Amino acid sequence: MNIYAIKAIYKFEMARAWRTLMQSIASPVLSTSLYFIVFGSAIGSRMANVDGVSYGAFIVPGLIMLSILTESISNASFGIYFPKYTGTIYELLSAPISAFETVIGYVGAAASKSMILGAIILVTARLFVDFSIAHPVWMVAFLILTSITFSLFGFIIGIWADSFQKLQVVPLMIVTPLAFLGGSFYSINMLPPFWQTIALFNPVVYLVSGFRWSFYGVADVGVGLSLSMTLLFMLLCLAAVWWIFRTGWKIKT
């Protein structure tokens, strides 16, 4: 394995994050803090507990997950799209580095940035609401799995997109609505039975539910099912990435 090539890609992508610190870290943290102020403090103080948890604390896992989903996709998609846009991807393809090593470099950097962001938001949330973490090991596991999975998904979007407009279509039109409708701000058990069934077709429900279980021990769906669905989506993304490099789709053509 070409460790030097992986480190070069990883360091370059991480350095880009530090150069754009306001956009990569400060902006998502500020946006999430506003959610905590509005929903957690202003509205949450007037709402009843949800599954025995105060509303302000209840939305903490959902808001962290919402930030991780959007940032993982954004970082990974832009990371691979920019070499395509500038034409430097051909230098990467001709270099002595395999597709597997390329994916590790780009996806690893995007996932690392998402995990750092998630940790910062977790600390920031403590300034606004009081919460506990019942299963810290599982919390970290879900954080890592989600960051890697959606960084892979973002990598695929970056390969597919051939313009900056397309780069934003999937996150804005699909992922963000699914995240808001995936139980980030509420429990799907609060919905009528018909809409509960519809919600189960939303993959984000399983991510948020599993992550919230690691905090409070309560979940909309079983934690085993949440973990299985996350791993399944990761495997699908890995299969798509393997097919892309095998066929050269949108890379060599």
Cβ neighbours around 226 below 10 Å, total: 25
CA 3 to chain centre: 26
Domain assignment of residue 12, yes or no: yes
Say what the pLDDT of residue 72 is: 92
Say what the pLDDT of residue 244 is: 92
Domain assignment of residue 243, yes or no: yes
Cα–Cα separations (whole angstroms), residue 147 to 84, 127, 252: 23, 24, 27
Q: What does the H/E/C string look like for 192-233?
A: CHHHHHHHCCCHHHHHHHHHHHHHHCCCCCCHHHHHHHHHHH
Domain assignment of residue 252, yes or no: no
Domain assignment of residue 142, yes or no: yes
CA nearest neighbour of 159 among 217, 219, 106: 106
- Structural domain boundaries enclosing 210: 3-247
What is the amino acid identity at position 159?
I
Domain assignment of residue 26, yes or no: yes
Q: What is the pLDDT of residues 8-21, one digit of tens each?
A: 999 998 988 777 77
Element of type H or E holding 109: helix 99-125
Residues of the chain short of pLDDT 50, as ranges, are none
Q: How many residues does the chain have?
A: 253
Number of domains, the chain? 1
Distance CA(198)–CA(201), nearest Å, equals 6
Q: What is the pLDDT of residues 159-211, one digit of tens each?
A: 999 888 888 888 888 888 888 888 888 888 888 888 888 888 998 999 999 99
CA nearest neighbour of 238 among 159, 152, 157: 152
- Quote the Cα angle for 119-21-17, to 5°: 80
Say what the pLDDT of residue 159 is: 93
